Chains A and B, each alone.
Chain A
Amino acid sequence: MSDDYPSLLRSEQMSLVRLYVPTEVAHDTVAELGELGDVQFKDLNPNVNPFQRSFVGEIRRIDEMSRRVRFFATQIEQEKDVVPIRPLYDSAPVITVGPRAPQTMDELDVTLAAHEQRLTQMNESYQKLSERTKELIEARHVLRETAVFFDKAQDHQTDIRTSFDDSAAPLLQHDDRENQYSAGAGAQFDLEFVAGTIERVRVPTFERVLWRVLRGNLYMNHTDIAEPFVDPVTGVETRKNVFIIFAHGDALLAKIRKVAESMGATLYPIDANADKRSESFREVEGRLEDLQNVLYNTGASRRTELITIGENLRSWQDVVRKEKLIYETLNLFKYDAGQKTLTAEGWVPTRDITMIQLALRHAAEESGTSVAAVLDELRTQKTPPTFNRTNKFTEGFQTIMDSYGVACYQEVNPGLFAVITFPFLFAVMFGDIGHGFIIFTAALYMILAERKLARADLGEISGQFFYGRYIILLMGLFSMYTGLMYNDIFSKSLHIWHSAWDFPSNGTDTKVTGIDNGHRYPFGLDPGWHGADNNLVFVNSYKMKMSVVLGVIHMTFALCLQLPNHLKFKRSIDVWANFIPQMIFLQSIFGYLVICILYKWSIDWSTASTQPPSLLNMLISMFLSPGKVDPSEQLYAGQPFVQVLLLLLAAICVPWLLITKPYIAWKEMHKIQEQGYVSIRGDGDGNGVHRDSSDEALEGEEEGNGQAMVEAADDSENEHHDFGEVVIHQIIHTIEFCLGCISHTASYLRLWALSLAHAQLSEVLWSMTLESWLEPTGVFGWIMLIVMGVFWFVLTVFILCIMEGLSAFLHALRLHWVEANSKHFEGGGLAFTPLTFANPDLKE
């Protein structure tokens, strides 16, 4: 347990440090530390409102800048043709540290504002132009549709004229006044009308309202406009209809117009005269063409602007994000106006203190001042955050464990062991050389193309696979190994060495009995079993026992991990009151079972005097009728005595586990009370640390930082251990452990079940698809072979490798989280979350 070399066994040793940062280098220091990503700052002003903090002005400015950048991003996104955005790693970095930093930020601010102004202006004019274009297009539609209508009406002209003769005169009179809406020019028919466009969804309401307002005195006609109108700013499509309403009388027309306008319709002056109509149609066409030219130009220059923005967008986003983080961090610092320094507290890995000090000095040099920030290490009672230093290989495994729970500070980290146990337990369920090879190559590809893939945006699902590429690699490797053990390759078996079984063919008889020829298959399952009638019986019994053996070994190992924890945290009580009885309990029942399994395997039952006993029955009768073993099923001499002894041992362990710890706690409490103390804060180890820390506080004060230690000691979480709590906790713990031993052992049988299911599924797949086409006859046979071969391979990858793989993965996960972790893992830690500029969702 040396502290010199980082190991995954225990989380990194952390130190609480205090930084004194001169105001002028504060920004650069935080920037430097953010790049380093190794310091977790604490909020020193928890009682201060967010807007009363020191750097709220800067944050507000950054917020405004980020609003502008967001505005650009949405504008670029909404553009129909894709605007290229230069990725961050290609863009020139904007340097925001050093003496020129304020200027750079000012310039950036100005640039952003200018771009925003230009863009809004262009948007406005673009919108205005498109609005006009839209109107013209609508006018064109109205003209065209009404023309169709009038042409049709031409045929009935005479009828209409006769029926409306009476009203012709008054209409003519006001025609002068309202020339544009109505037409009574003699040659045509005489009826007033209103024409325009309206949104399609409103047509029915419009019709209904008009009908009621005019009491049915109208004739309305409407047609759909085929193409939708797209709003240039929001990109929303609206569909419109052309309508034309004929009505009679001034007041009615005014009403129609009012209703139409209030319903959001646009009215267009249409002449009833065909010549005038075609004239205005030409005019509209001409104006439309001009407008579209202008619109195109405006659109093009807007696009140019967007492209310019797109070149810098990513780096702007990056700068704005970083600056915001920096100022938010600075707001956590305590600001001392008199001394012109900021005080910060935070957790750092002890190992990295020198590196951080270097960074501090570097930041001071960068910013051109001679005063660097000063770093002080504090001693404290507070529990530091848990920080497991990972690399790209161990990261995946550690994440698996962290998603169950973050280990306590310096607790034994199950992530380390998961590197091997996880792929192994997976492979036990997934044992097949062929499938293992497929996922191995897939993982190998991802690892070899790592650099390329890391940059590309993989999407959520394939990104997850990429993240776990090293896990998949090991899983594939281990699956190939267990595949060799099971002698399974795509449900077939390999025949490498000499089999132990001969199958003499005796002519007509379809049933052949294997004869032991004295060879022993040196590695894995004898291929002679493949295809045998009793294959399943044999393999089942073998795999079932194997899973129990593996399970008990795994649980024992997990239980043993308690020991280093107890020793590390100096809890010798827990060794005697928890670890030892638990170990005895587990071993006396399930350890014994494992030994029996191994012993039973080692006996040649074909020559033995007794029948092979059923171990399951043995275990049950060990509980139900202790001391009695049927001589015909006896495994070894003296079995009844041994079993009674083990049973007694296990029975003793339960009260031992239940009572010892509460009793010791009670005695401890009693002792303290007899001495006249009221406090129950006597854990033994706590006091020592406390004394140390107060010494350290004195030293700190000597160095001249007044309120240093007092508060650090003050708000440390004093966990109040009640006697009743200890009792209840221990009762729960005992029940959980004793019942857990039984159910968890049974739970490991999933290893058997899943590996069986996997083998059977792959066999079914083989026999249903490929097997019957293996000896092709003629062209059709060859084609079917190829088709079926592809079919088989696709199903193998998707069903057997991915789907079955995921299911085996989940079961392996459960075995680690529930069965193993429950034996030792406390998991009450807080993860170390350093200030870092590395952006997890950079590739948005």
Chain B
Amino acid sequence: MEALLFNVDGGFLEGTVRGYKAGILTQSHYANLTQCESLEDFRTQLSATDYGNFLANEPLPISTATIADKATQILVDQFKYLRNNAVEPLSKFLDYVTYAYMIDNVILLITGTLHERDTHELIERCHPLGIFESMPALCVASNVEELYQSVLVETPLAPYFRDCLSASDLDDLNIEIIRNTVYKAYLEDFYAYCGSLGGPTADVMQRILSFEADRRTINLTINSFNTELSKEERANLFPAIGRLFPEGNNQLAKADEIDQVRLVCENVGEYRQFFADAGVSSANGPGDEDSSVLSRLEDRFFQMEVHLNKMAFLQQFQYGVFFAYMKLKEQEIRNITWIAECIAQNAKDRIQDFIPIF
């Protein structure tokens, strides 16, 4: 059925996004980039890719921040092009993609205000896709109720915040809780929306979102060890979707150490490798073991995410490609920023620690 009618509304944009995807840097590009001696070489090398002359008009010494900004700007322009050409239901779908950025921005602003940072500086640091017009007014609010009543009520995020109105004061822990509650609500809502779209979109997107939910659950569990967060509260923050849901989530809610998390993950085939060689390193003494496991875990998560997003491109007539493209491109921006940073700080030994996409 999708094959019959999908291209009426979505064909052009799917073609466009697949064209964009063809411009994602490949292994050989990365191989060239990592050989660069200076950021100028880096610029020359990037100008041979789809990035083109995006840095040509920057005065010399280029900072890594500029590179990241300009690269993000390209992504944002592409997304806006897609969004402006989209019609229902794709436009709604793309809006959902921006909600994640909006949540991040809201949390960033609240945290920043809490620590009495300059509002304008904060706004500059916000992701351009997540900016909404009444956003600056967030800095006035001093508690969640006010936050919700004054600003968020008219944004699409309003329903997600409804669940966390009870948290009264804004402090760091509460903000973390708010962030996770909101994100949980967002993921569940997005998951349901993709389900309502049905067809291959639902298949592809629910796979990606399930992983995202599981990732959050695992991260939450590990990060909440030895903190004030009670196990009950922790359980409330777990998204009610994903492959670990429900019994995995139940076990994670009760977990006290990493080994328990590993046991839960072993129940899912794809997740088994996350902790695959954790046992080997545990011999090296308990102190730095945890942190190394965690950083490796983080990398594995990213690899898994990239893998899932790449898989999204294998199926046609579905909206997953739009989401996947955004995520892949973000990973690419992280990669080139990482490489640029390594070049700038002359840390060549760590330059290979990026996550290749194609």
Check if B74 is an interface residue, CB within 8 A of chain A: no
User: A60 — which chain B residues lie within 8 A by C-beta?
Assistant: 40, 44
Check if B167 is an interface residue, CB within 8 A of chain A: no
Q: How far is the CA of A261 from the CA of B56 in the complex (A)?
A: 35
Q: Beyond A67-B56, A261-B119, A262-B119, is A51–B36 a contact (Cβ under 8 Å)? A: yes
User: B37 — which chain A residues lie within 8 A by C-beta?
Assistant: 51
- CB nearest to A213 among chain B residues: B150
Question: Contact check: which of A49, A56, A67 meets B57 at CB < 8 Å?
Answer: A67
> CB-CB contacts of A197-230 with B at 8 A, as 1s and 0s?
0000010010011001100000000000000000
Q: Restricting to A28-86, which residues have a CB under 8 Å from any CB of B?
A: 49-52, 56, 60, 63-64, 67, 70-71
**Across the interface, do A67 and B150 meet the contact criterion of CB distance under 8 Å?**
no
User: A263 — which chain B residues lie within 8 A by C-beta?
Assistant: 136-137
Expressed in whole angstroms, the minimum distance between the Cβ of A232 and any Cβ of chain B is 19
Question: Contact check: which of A50, A67, A205, A255 meets B44 at CB < 8 Å?
Answer: A50
- Pick the most buried of B41, B59, B134, B146: most chain A CB atoms within 10 A of its CB: B134
Q: How far is the CA of A259 from the CA of B41 in the complex (A)?
A: 45
Q: How far is the CA of A261 from the CA of B123 in the complex (A)?
A: 12
Expressed in whole angstroms, the minimum distance between the Cβ of B348 and any Cβ of chain A is 16
Q: How far is the CA of A19 from the CA of B65 in the complex (A)?
A: 45
**Across the interface, do A258 and B133 meet the contact criterion of CB distance under 8 Å?**
no
> CB-CB contacts of B264-291 with A at 8 A, as 1s and 0s?
0000000000000000000000000000
> CB-CB contacts of A246-274 with B at 8 A, as 1s and 0s?
00000000010011011110000000000
Expressed in whole angstroms, the minimum distance between the Cβ of B175 and any Cβ of chain A is 19
Expressed in whole angstroms, the minimum distance between the Cβ of A418 and any Cβ of chain B is 38
Q: How far is the CA of A212 from the CA of B152 in the complex (A)?
A: 11
Number of B residues whose C-beta is below 8 Å from A? Answer: 28
Q: Restricting to B132-174, which residues have a CB under 8 Å from any CB of A?
A: 133-134, 136-137, 139-140, 146, 149-151, 153-154
Q: Beyond A49-B32, A255-B140, is A209–B41 a contact (Cβ under 8 Å)? A: no
**Across the interface, do B151 and A51 meet the contact criterion of CB distance under 8 Å?**
no
Q: How far is the CA of A64 from the CA of B55 in the complex (A)?
A: 12
**Across the interface, do B134 and A51 meet the contact criterion of CB distance under 8 Å?**
no
> CB-CB contacts of B40-68 with A at 8 A, as 1s and 0s?
11001100100000001101100000000
- CB nearest to B146 among chain A residues: A213
Q: How far is the CA of A297 from the CA of B89 in the complex (A)?
A: 57
**Across the interface, do A208 and B136 meet the contact criterion of CB distance under 8 Å?**
no
**Across the interface, do A205 and B45 meet the contact criterion of CB distance under 8 Å?**
no
Check if B35 is an interface residue, CB within 8 A of chain A: yes
Q: Beyond A64-B60, A209-B134, A209-B151, is A262–B140 a contact (Cβ under 8 Å)? A: yes
Chain A residues touching B, majority SS:
helix
Q: How far is the CA of A63 from the CA of B56 in the complex (A)?
A: 8
- CB nearest to B109 among chain A residues: A262
User: A50 — which chain B residues lie within 8 A by C-beta?
Assistant: 44-45, 48
**Across the interface, do B154 and A208 meet the contact criterion of CB distance under 8 Å?**
yes
**Across the interface, do A51 and B41 meet the contact criterion of CB distance under 8 Å?**
yes
**Across the interface, do A213 and B119 meet the contact criterion of CB distance under 8 Å?**
no
**Across the interface, do B137 and A51 meet the contact criterion of CB distance under 8 Å?**
no
Expressed in whole angstroms, the minimum distance between the Cβ of B118 and any Cβ of chain A is 10
User: A264 — which chain B residues lie within 8 A by C-beta?
Assistant: 136
**Across the interface, do A213 and B140 meet the contact criterion of CB distance under 8 Å?**
yes
**Across the interface, do B140 and A258 meet the contact criterion of CB distance under 8 Å?**
yes
User: A67 — which chain B residues lie within 8 A by C-beta?
Assistant: 56-57, 59
User: B136 — which chain A residues lie within 8 A by C-beta?
Assistant: 259, 262-264
> CB-CB contacts of B54-97 with A at 8 A, as 1s and 0s?
00110110000000000000000000000000000000000000
**Across the interface, do A212 and B140 meet the contact criterion of CB distance under 8 Å?**
no
Question: Contact check: which of A56, A71, A212 meets B149 at CB < 8 Å?
Answer: A212
Expressed in whole angstroms, the minimum distance between the Cβ of A103 and any Cβ of chain B is 23
User: A205 — which chain B residues lie within 8 A by C-beta?
Assistant: 133-134
Q: Beyond A50-B45, A60-B44, is A202–B35 a contact (Cβ under 8 Å)? A: no
Q: Beyond A209-B134, A209-B150, A259-B140, is A51–B44 a contact (Cβ under 8 Å)? A: yes
- CB nearest to B149 among chain A residues: A212
**Across the interface, do A49 and B139 meet the contact criterion of CB distance under 8 Å?**
no
Q: Beyond A261-B119, A262-B119, is A213–B137 a contact (Cβ under 8 Å)? A: yes
Expressed in whole angstroms, the minimum distance between the Cβ of A495 and any Cβ of chain B is 61
User: B57 — which chain A residues lie within 8 A by C-beta?
Assistant: 67, 70-71
**Across the interface, do B134 and A49 meet the contact criterion of CB distance under 8 Å?**
no
- CB nearest to B58 among chain A residues: A67
Expressed in whole angstroms, the minimum distance between the Cβ of A504 and any Cβ of chain B is 71
User: B137 — which chain A residues lie within 8 A by C-beta?
Assistant: 209, 213, 259, 262-263
- Pick the most buried of B36, B119, B136: most chain A CB atoms within 10 A of its CB: B136
Q: How far is the CA of A772 from the CA of B15 in the complex (A)?
A: 58
- CB nearest to B142 among chain A residues: A255
User: A261 — which chain B residues lie within 8 A by C-beta?
Assistant: 119
Expressed in whole angstroms, the minimum distance between the Cβ of A393 and any Cβ of chain B is 39
User: B153 — which chain A residues lie within 8 A by C-beta?
Assistant: 212
Expressed in whole angstroms, the minimum distance between the Cβ of A265 and any Cβ of chain B is 10
User: B59 — which chain A residues lie within 8 A by C-beta?
Assistant: 67
User: A255 — which chain B residues lie within 8 A by C-beta?
Assistant: 140
Question: Contact check: which of A51, A63, A212, A262 meets B45 at CB < 8 Å?
Answer: A51
**Across the interface, do A262 and B60 meet the contact criterion of CB distance under 8 Å?**
no
Expressed in whole angstroms, the minimum distance between the Cβ of A190 and any Cβ of chain B is 26
Q: Restricting to B5-61, which residues have a CB under 8 Å from any CB of A?
A: 32, 35-37, 40-41, 44-45, 48, 56-57, 59-60
- CB nearest to B45 among chain A residues: A51
Expressed in whole angstroms, the minimum distance between the Cβ of B123 and any Cβ of chain A is 8
User: A202 — which chain B residues lie within 8 A by C-beta?
Assistant: 133
- Pick the most buried of A202, A208, A213, A262: most chain B CB atoms within 10 A of its CB: A262
**Across the interface, do A258 and B45 meet the contact criterion of CB distance under 8 Å?**
no
Q: How far is the CA of A798 from the CA of B56 in the complex (A)?
A: 45
Question: Contact check: which of B36, B41, B139 meets A262 at CB < 8 Å?
Answer: B139
Q: How far is the CA of A258 from the CA of B150 in the complex (A)?
A: 13
User: B119 — which chain A residues lie within 8 A by C-beta?
Assistant: 261-262
User: A52 — which chain B residues lie within 8 A by C-beta?
Assistant: 35
Q: How far is the CA of A526 from the CA of B40 in the complex (A)?
A: 78
User: A262 — which chain B residues lie within 8 A by C-beta?
Assistant: 119-120, 123, 136-137, 139-140
Q: How far is the CA of A60 from the CA of B44 in the complex (A)?
A: 9
- CB nearest to B151 among chain A residues: A209
**Across the interface, do B139 and A258 meet the contact criterion of CB distance under 8 Å?**
yes
Expressed in whole angstroms, the minimum distance between the Cβ of A215 and any Cβ of chain B is 8
Q: How far is the CA of A67 from the CA of B62 in the complex (A)?
A: 14
Q: How far is the CA of A480 from the CA of B60 in the complex (A)?
A: 63
- CB nearest to A263 among chain B residues: B136
User: B150 — which chain A residues lie within 8 A by C-beta?
Assistant: 209, 212-213
**Across the interface, do A49 and B60 meet the contact criterion of CB distance under 8 Å?**
no
Q: How far is the CA of A213 from the CA of B141 in the complex (A)?
A: 8
Q: How far is the CA of A255 from the CA of B137 in the complex (A)?
A: 10
Q: How far is the CA of A64 from the CA of B154 in the complex (A)?
A: 48
Question: Contact check: which of A56, A63, A208 meets B134 at CB < 8 Å?
Answer: A208
- CB nearest to A262 among chain B residues: B136
Q: How far is the CA of A64 from the CA of B133 in the complex (A)?
A: 38
User: B139 — which chain A residues lie within 8 A by C-beta?
Assistant: 258, 262
- CB nearest to A264 among chain B residues: B136
- CB nearest to B141 among chain A residues: A213
> CB-CB contacts of B164-193 with A at 8 A, as 1s and 0s?
000000000000000000000000000000
Given contacts A208-B134, A259-B137, A262-B136, 10 further A-B contacts (CB under 8 A): A50-B44, A50-B48, A51-B44, A52-B35, A56-B41, A60-B44, A63-B56, A67-B59, A212-B153, A262-B123
19 A-B pairs (CB sep. < 8 Å)? A49-B35, A49-B45, A52-B35, A64-B60, A67-B56, A67-B59, A70-B57, A202-B133, A209-B134, A212-B151, A213-B140, A213-B150, A255-B140, A258-B139, A258-B140, A259-B137, A262-B120, A262-B123, A264-B136
Q: Which residues of A contact B (CB under 8 A)?
A: 49-52, 56, 60, 63-64, 67, 70-71, 202, 205, 208-209, 212-213, 255, 258-259, 261-264
Q: What 8 A-B pairs have minimum CB-CB distances, sorted nearest first? A: A262-B136, A209-B137, A51-B41, A262-B119, A213-B150, A212-B150, A205-B133, A51-B44
Q: Which residues of B contact A (CB under 8 A)?
A: 32, 35-37, 40-41, 44-45, 48, 56-57, 59-60, 119-120, 123, 133-134, 136-137, 139-140, 146, 149-151, 153-154
